[in-house]
Amino acid sequence: MKRSVSIMFAYVFLAIGSNALLQAQTPPATEKITQGVYPVYARSPQVWRFTIDPKTMANATVAGRFSITEGVPKNIEVFVFNEENYFKWRSEDDAVKATAKPIYSSGGRKADGDLNVKVTEAGHYYVVFSNLFAYEGIKTLNADVKLQYDKR
């Protein structure tokens, strides 16, 4: 009798452990921020806005890839800003613009690259592909960027 009770408890613990393991292995939710081919003009960056809601999201990450397929030179600057710093960066006042701090920067002009950016605070954010350093011209951007997070 004691042996059958022990076996029954073992099955219960295995069932509970299996269920917890399945819940822990739930893949992250994914939302498309951008996917496609876009023109990026010299004075007008391509910008996509997304929102982090801590009530429904945990461990948020912006991940993806970009490349410039046309334009001379074939490079671009890439940023991820929170809302406050995005509006500083877009300011006409150079002193204000200089205070903008992105949570991600490509580190200069790049022909292609990957994004993998942890977003830790609630709010609105902006993924920016910028050709503002150019006086004129159009570049062709191929971008595939997603927001991944654990559902709460």
Instruction: Provide the residue ranges of all domains of the chain, joining segments of one domain with +.
Output: 29-151
Least confident span in 10-14, 57-61, 87-91, 116-120 = 10-14
Specify the fold of 29-151: Jelly Rolls (2.60.120)
Other beta carbons within 10 angstroms of residue 57's beta carbon come to 20
Instruction: Using the predicted structure, report yes or no on whether residue 95 has a pLDDT greater than 80.
Output: yes
Please state, for a pLDDT cut of 70, what percent of the chain lies above it: 84
Per residue in 15-68, pLDDT (tens digit) is: 555 555 555 567 889 999 999 999 999 989 999 999 999 999 999 999 999 999
